[in-house]
Homo-oligomer: A and B are copies of this chain.
Amino acid sequence: MVDLSVKIGSLRLKNPVLTASGTFGYGRDYDEYLDIAQLGGIVTKTITLNPREGNPMPRIAETPAGMLNSIGLSNVGADRYLSDKLPALKNVDTVVIANVAGDTIEEYGEIVSRIQDQSRIDGIEINVSCPNVKQGGLAFGTNPDITAEVVRISRLETEKPLIVKLTPNVTDITEIALAAQESGADAVSCMNTLVGMGIDISTRKPLLHHILGGLSGPSIKPVALAKAYQIVQVLDIPVIGIGGIMTWEDAVEFLLAGVTAVQVGTLSFVDPYGSIAIIEGLRLYCQKNGISKVENLIGGMIQS
């Protein structure tokens, strides 16, 4: 028997595979395709204090080995999240992480405070990749001081495990990751999407209504792995790897680079069962290679 469990701060996950925010709805949308209790955990779609309609269409496009999205944080808002979405996860034996965002630093504190007493929420992931109007539209997470402030204010509101989801669109991600750690984050997840765009040459229109969007999928895997590896070198808290994970081999790659768990995003769109297939693949890989605990893989890269 292989022990697949891992620990993110005080959270024990039955295995290191979670589904990423925005790619698994509020947790029950893929019930027809998989048993969510088999997952290490679910990160729900980013919620904000008030509901949001999201951006005009088109919102998605395909790119070489990837996709662009500019959904615009369309979500049901905190009230409906608490009244409709969370209760639907009541008796599910897996970890539920609520992902939250705000328009201002204060709003991060408010949304955390609004949901933090829910026993069904096992951890809170802070999405700092939203545009900060005060900073000229650059994401909160591109500035270490602002990131620190967002984390600090959220930390004041909750004792639940607090995970900061980093944006990769920065010069030095270790600086931001350290700021998150020093302000009280229990873990960081790395990474959100890269900024990208595309143009339909037949109509001459941008592929996305908002022109710029977020790139995800296998094309970004090498970048995600590099960022995760870089922050693993400087942090003491656990890192969750995200970006382009499609197979159990990809998951092993991230674990060897030093992350404690992974999230899969775009994969679910292509193969709703893909996250479970990764878990099965990990188990088999460990069995075959005599690895009794998946934790033993973490950081196991051999430097040549």
Contact = CB atoms under 8 A, between A and B. Distances in A.
A194 interface: yes
Interface in A275-304: 300-304
A37 interface: no
Interface residues of A, number: 47
A128 to B, nearest CB: 13
A169 B170 CA distance: 7
Task: Give the number of copies in the complex.
Answer: 2
Interface string A154-182: 00000000000000011110000000000
Interface in A199-243: 199, 201, 203-206, 209, 211-212, 215, 218-223, 225-226, 229-230
B65 A64 contact: yes
B206 A303 contact: yes
Contacts of A204: 256, 300-302
Given A222-B63, A223-B194, A257 B199 contact: yes
Contact of A171 (B171, B199, B215): B171
A198 interface: yes
A222 B226 contact: no
A66 interface: yes
List the 7 closest pairs (A to B, CB-CB), nearest first: A196-B222, A219-B219, A65-B65, A64-B218, A197-B226, A204-B302, A64-B65
